[in-house]
Amino acid sequence: MRVGELSQRTGASVRSLRYYEERGLIEADRSTSGQRQYDAAVVDRVLLIRQLLTAGLGTAAIVDVLPCMAEPASQTSLLTARLVAERDRLTDEIAQRVATRDALEQIIGAAPPLQG
Amino acid sequence: MRVGELSQRTGASVRSLRYYEERGLIEADRSTSGQRQYDAAVVDRVLLIRQLLTAGLGTAAIVDVLPCMAEPASQTSLLTARLVAERDRLTDEIAQRVATRDALEQIIGAAPPLQG
DNA sequence: GTAGAACCTGACATCAATGTGAGGGGCAAG
DNA sequence: CTTGCCCCTCACATTGATGTCAGGTTCTAC
């Protein structure tokens, strides 16, 4: 498929897809005229990339993490360190957000009685 | 206290403190020569601001949220909507991060046996 | 073959919080 | 009064993912 279709199937903008390629997250064959041609498997890969981005990972981290998710055997001790670092960062962010959400929750619960 | 001391006490850079003021998050008296003079209560306020920033709230959201945390009676239905919106956003982000952390966890657990 | 959609590259814009540097004033200690 | 540190404002830089525009090529359908 071409980039427009991949965009529709993944929700990523065409711009973003080209950016992912630039960062080494995805690859594409090229037609003789230079247009990108994507393998069907790329759809899931992009969806995964988007999940990781949404979770706050950067493209540099994703470049390291993705191969480990596709092929566990590719995990070296260096990559494991990276995985652990990202996991720990997520754990911290989760704790921070849970604490803040609870604080907001409490304020919401203590809302003054409605006036009208 | 002056801005340098507030910076030390809160961990926020002087630059950030001035930025918080610009965004309406904190206030300061001015000495005759124009130097900022902070009330002791500002320390806790800044710490709270930093917590909210770390949790991913923007300064615009914090402007709305802060008064409600200091004075529940200041909560209008409009502000409640804002609080709810931020809480829901946090809930989504937490779910996203927990899912991703668990995925990383699983990969880490499935690490190939150490080579050396 | 021609119109219009989809694609290409390249480059500049955006947002938010923060860094950094310039150029100048304030204040305490010697 | 000078040295040194703290403060002031203004303004430009940074980071990362994405938007957007320009100028040009390719593909699809008529």
Q: What gap in Å lies between CA B44 and CA B67, rounded to an integer? A: 13
Average pLDDT over residues A73-101: 93
Is B113 touching A (CB cutoff 8 A)? Answer: no
Is B44 touching A (CB cutoff 8 A)? Answer: no
- Topology annotation, domain B3-110: Multidrug-efflux Transporter Regulator; Chain: A; Domain 2 (1.10.1660)
Q: What gap in Å lies between CA A19 and CA A31, rounded to an integer? A: 19
- pLDDT of the residue at B104: 95
Question: What residue type is B44 in one-letter code?
Answer: D
Q: What gap in Å lies between CA A97 and CA B56, rounded to an integer? A: 8
Is B114 touching A (CB cutoff 8 A)? Answer: yes
- pLDDT of the residue at B70: 87
Q: What is the pLDDT of residues B23-75, one digit of tens each?
A: 999 999 999 999 999 999 999 999 999 999 999 999 999 999 999 998 888 88
Average pLDDT over residues A64-76: 90
The answer to whether the CB atoms of B51 and A96 lie below 8 A apart is yes
- pLDDT of the residue at B99: 96
Question: What average pLDDT does the structure give for chain A?
Answer: 93
B114: confidence class by pLDDT, cuts 50, 70, 90: low
Cα R_g (chain A), whole angstroms: 20
- pLDDT of the residue at B72: 87
A111: confidence class by pLDDT, cuts 50, 70, 90: confident
With vertex at residue A49, the alpha carbon angle to CA A74 and CA B95, rounded to the nearest 5 degrees, is: 105
Of A56, A65, A73, the CB nearest to B97: A56
Other CB atoms within a 10 A radius of the CB of residue B88 amount to: 12
Of B73, B80, B112, the CB nearest to A75: B112
What tokens were used for B25?
A: 């998050």
The answer to whether the CB atoms of B101 and A114 lie below 8 A apart is no
Q: Among all protein residues, pick the one whose CA is nearest to the C1' atom of D7.
A: B35
What tokens were used for B39?
A: 């009330």
* Residues within 8 A of B (CB atoms), A 65-84 only: 65, 68-69, 72-73, 75, 77, 80, 83-84
Q: What gap in Å lies between CA B21 and CA A68, rounded to an integer? A: 45
* DSSP H stretches of helix in chain B: 3-10, 14-22, 42-54, 59-70, 77-109
Which of A47, A49, A50, A90 should be substituted to probe chain B, the one whose Cβ sees the most B Cβ atoms within 10 Å? A90
pLDDT reading at A25 higher than 50: yes
Instruction: Calculate helix-pair angle for B14-22, B42-54, nearest 10 degrees.
Output: 90
B116: confidence class by pLDDT, cuts 50, 70, 90: very low
Show me where the domains of chain B are located.
3-110
Q: What is the pLDDT of residues B66-103, one digit of tens each?
A: 999 988 888 898 899 999 999 999 999 999 999 999 99
pLDDT reading at B113 higher than 80: no
Average pLDDT over residues A103-109: 93
For chain A, give the percent of residues with pLDDT over 70: 97
What tokens were used for B38?
A: 């902070």
